[in-house]
Structure 1
Amino acid sequence: MPAMTEPKLISGNANKPLAQSIARRMSMHRGMNVALVDARVERFNDQEIFVEVFDNVRGEDMYIIQSTSNPANDNLMELLIMTDALKRSSANRITAVIPYFGYARQDRRAKARTPISAKLVANMLSKAGVDRVLTLDLHATQIQGFFDIPVDNLYAAPIFALDIKHNFRGRIDDLMVVSPDVGGVARAREIAQRIHVPMAIVDKRREKAGEVADMTVIGDVAGKTCIIVDDICDTAGTLCKAAQLLTDHGASEVHAYITHGVLSGPAVERVQKSVMKSLVITDSINQPDPVKACSNIRIVPTAPMFAQAIINIWNGTSVSSLFELDTLGPIYEGLYSDE
């Protein structure tokens, strides 16, 4: 049954531009004025977080838009405290819209005496009062099972497929999608099947976390325009090495489509100096000026998809319909209008 009230959005400090874009898209599609709930999310001098909601939210269907990106702990605490504020203000339902779900890479015990931090975060969100989670490209899909509440995991693959078809039109036959490791094969295959091109794999062996000892290419990339597909780009070291390896094996061009541009440390400088023609990321993380100014980094919007997903959740209709190009294409009409 659809909710009796309109959906209401509230934003933390992690990615306000995305929250504002989602509100604008919902206003456009719903024909109603969807504005962010008036609130202040501030820090005291000792960096304690304080939240005050100025609008009445009693009985409302609330959507908190907050990526748990760098600084991950601050943004996570903002999300938890905002949830508590809304719960104590008698909000009817609280959905945490987390475009980038931090701690997702800690989804299992890789060694003895280590935590499963993604499960801990799931427990914290549930205990704080979150009723549903909406996120994008979880690093490990099994994280959905860490929650005892509904989790809707959206995918960037349909957006990337639209973007690739638009920007490489007339060259599709020359493309090859590349997974940067064996673990990402399913993600790369998804895009390869959507745009009907072959796939290759870069097999890497690590000596320790963050350092790659050896890399090999599985597949013939000679003369191909290679598109590396992954979910997270952190320091960009592995990505740039993979791009160089593909070029050494005869690839004519290398591009990358990465959902979450963490881009920490020397990442931007590495991308600028790499052989990659372009790195395409989403706006799941609010990027600083150096990233926006980088000539070979491009950001594609997720607001149209998140806005429609929120509307579908509020209406009680299908979210998985957004996984199909036939559904997503019209939502992105204007950006890829010549398709």
Structure 2
Amino acid sequence: MPENTMKSPIAPLKIISLEGFKPLAEKIDKHISTSRKNKEEKNNYNLSFPGYYKDSYLVNAQVPRFSSGEAKGVIKETIHGKDLFILADISNHSLTYNLYGEENGMSPDDHFQDLKRLIDACNGKARRINVILPFLYEGRQDRRSNLESLDCATALQELVEMGVQNIITFDAHEARVQNAIPLEGFDNFYTSYQFLQAFLKTENGISIEKEDLMVISPDVGGMSRAVFYSNILGVDMGMFYKRRDYSIVSNGKNPIIAHEFLGGDVAGKSVFIVDDMIASGESVLEVAAELKARKAERIYIAATFGLFTSGIDNFDKAYEKGIINRVYTSNLIHTSKEVLDKPYYTNVDISKYLSLIIDTLNHDCSVDGIMNSSALIRQRLNDYRENYRKKH
């Protein structure tokens, strides 16, 4: 029996979702409620307090905003003595608010301020406060060069100073930023199992043998991610590195002169490009075009976070030209309906995994077992290969 079914929770569970996270929070809430109901029915014992199983653990909380743009956090039910999880999608650009009579889109800074408002509204009453930021706020500004702000580290320290004890994120751009808060909990989860599940489901019938498939890292920073996929799949990997013009700064970054490839022959193979995020998509599409020029047969792009900051038109064109076959991103952040409706796009659902993480932490159990998904992946790959051999 899993450890967290035998151990009583640290405190009654409550979940607060910021507005931008609510669709996913509702799915997570339903998973936890269903799981706990099944536990109580199956095990027929009470886990130390009434209300262990509830229809919903979501708290009625809001962040009303004045016409000047100022706001306040309001929690409309008790959270006294509760193990509180606050969920936020700081990248959700679809939300707006009224600012001096004009509609203003919410930025990551606006979302982060709303998160702090709700933490402040707790007024020290919660037994423990845990914050889930799947897309880590200012995660790309994790280290300092010359006179620059160190935004991510400062933000983490702010949360800890406000009483947050655990911070949970996914596929952090640089996980070592947790060194900014060495005495508090910081968990960085990966979604490899969920993405491989989605890949094998949508591309059912594809060969995942070494001679037919290759894993590609689009840059040096993603090497460790690609190495993991390569090892778990038992296939070769390749890597691109970006040559930049450091004498020019355009849109806050040095422009890329060329993508140089390090790796074996991709001709006739399917390639699986793995990355942490798609921002504008310009870089990953250039990598895909280069792989196609090298005679790669099918090209799949998988990134935990699909920001699509420059829209989806370039992906449409790449798909129409046969450069890419499918794009995978997760539902950990907001994805527009325009993207969801594309024939080449798959949205990978992480809600069940997140519900397991919350439930495990609420029982004050180790998350090491659910962090390491290697055994699950290997079993899934073995099953797939066995079925593939039977059909072919």
TM superposition score normalised by structure 1: 0.91
TM superposition shift of 1:102: 2.1
Deviations 1:41-80 (A, max 9, x none): 2211112122211111101000001122142011101111
* Inter-partner Cα distance in structure 2 for 1:262 and 1:189: 24
C-alpha contact (below 8 Å) 2:277/2:303 kept by paired residues: yes
Q: Does 1:213 align with 2:257?
A: yes
- In 2, the alpha carbon distance for the partners of 1:312 and 1:324 equals 15
Distance 1:259 1:319 in 2: 20
Secondary structure (helix, strand or coil) at the match of 1:187 reads helix
Matched-pair contact (CA < 8 Å) for 1:271–1:296: no
Using the alignment, how far apart are the partners of 1:14 and 1:90 within structure 2? Answer: 24
Uncovered stretches (5+) of structure 1, i.e. residues with no partner: 331-337
Alpha-carbon separation, structure 2, partners of 1:6 and 1:224: 51
Aligned twin of 1:324: 373
Q: Secondary structure of the equivalent of 1:246?
A: helix
Indicate conservation of the 8 Å contact 2:12/2:81, yes or no.
no
Q: 1:312 to 1:329 in 2, by over 3 A?
A: farther
Letter in 2 for 1:297: Y
* 60-69 vs 139-148, greater mean Cα deviation: 139-148
CA distance in structure 2 between the aligned counterparts of 1:129 and 1:273, rounded to whole angstroms: 48
In the alignment, structure 1 residue 192 sits paired with structure 2 residue 230: yes
Shift of 1:233: 0.8
Question: What CA distance in whole angstroms lies between the structure 2 residues aligned with 1:328 and 1:200?
Answer: 21
- Where 1:14 maps in the other structure, the secondary structure is helix
1:230 partner SS: strand
Aligned equivalents of 1:304 and 1:81: distance in 2?
28
Q: How far apart in 1 are the matches of 2:279 and 2:203?
A: 26
Deviations 1:234-273 (A, max 9, x none): 000001101000000110011111001111123x111111
State the distance in 1 between where 2:326 and 2:10 align. Answer: 46
Distance between the aligned counterparts of 1:210 and 1:242, measured in 2? 17
1:41 to 45, 63, 66: 63
1:132 to 161, 166, 170: 166
Name which of structure 1's ranges 45-54 and 60-69 shifts more when overlaid on structure 2: 45-54
**Secondary structure of the equivalent of 1:95?**
strand
Whole-angstrom CA distance in 1 between matches of 2:156 and 2:261: 37
Aligned partner of 1:262 among 307, 322, 344: 307
Deviates more, 1:35-44 or 1:205-214: 205-214
Asked if the contact 2:11–2:362 (Cα under 8 Å) also holds between the matched residues in 1, the reply is no
Aligned length: 329
SS of equivalent to 1:15: helix
Q: 1 CA distance for matches of 2:340 and 2:61?
A: 28
Superimposed CA distance per residue, residues 263-310 of structure 1 (whole angstroms, 9 cap, x where no aligned partner): 1123x1111111211110001111122222222221111111110011
Match of 2:245, SS? strand
The answer as to whether partners of 2:270 and 2:296 remain within 8 angstroms in 1 is: yes
Q: Pick from 265, 281, 285 the counterpart of residue 236 of structure 1.
A: 281
Deviates more, 1:54-63 or 1:268-277: 268-277
| TM-score, length basis structure 2 | 0.79
Matched with 2:156 is 122
1:334 alignment partner in structure 2? none
Q: CA RMSD in A?
A: 2.0
Deviation at 1:145, TM superposition (A): 1.5
Task: Look up the match of 1:11.
Answer: 17
1:333 alignment counterpart: none
What is the match of residue 306 of structure 1? 354
Larger radius of gyration between Structure 1 and Structure 2: 2
Task: Please tell me whether the aligned partners of residues 162 and 329 of structure 1 are also in contact (alpha carbons under 8 angstroms).
Answer: no
For structure 2, which runs of at least 5 residues remain unmatched after alignment?
A: 1-6, 38-52, 94-106, 247-252, 380-386
Contact 1:160 1:191 in 2 (8 A): no
1:180 matched to 2:218: yes
- Which whole-Å CA distance do the structure 2 matches of 1:66 and 1:91 have between them? 18
TM superposition shift of 1:163: 2.4
Q: Residue type of the partner of 2:70?
A: E
SS at match of 1:299: strand
Q: CA 1:328–1:305 in structure 2 vs 1: closer, same or farther (change >3 Å)?
A: farther
Distance 1:283 1:210 in 2: 30
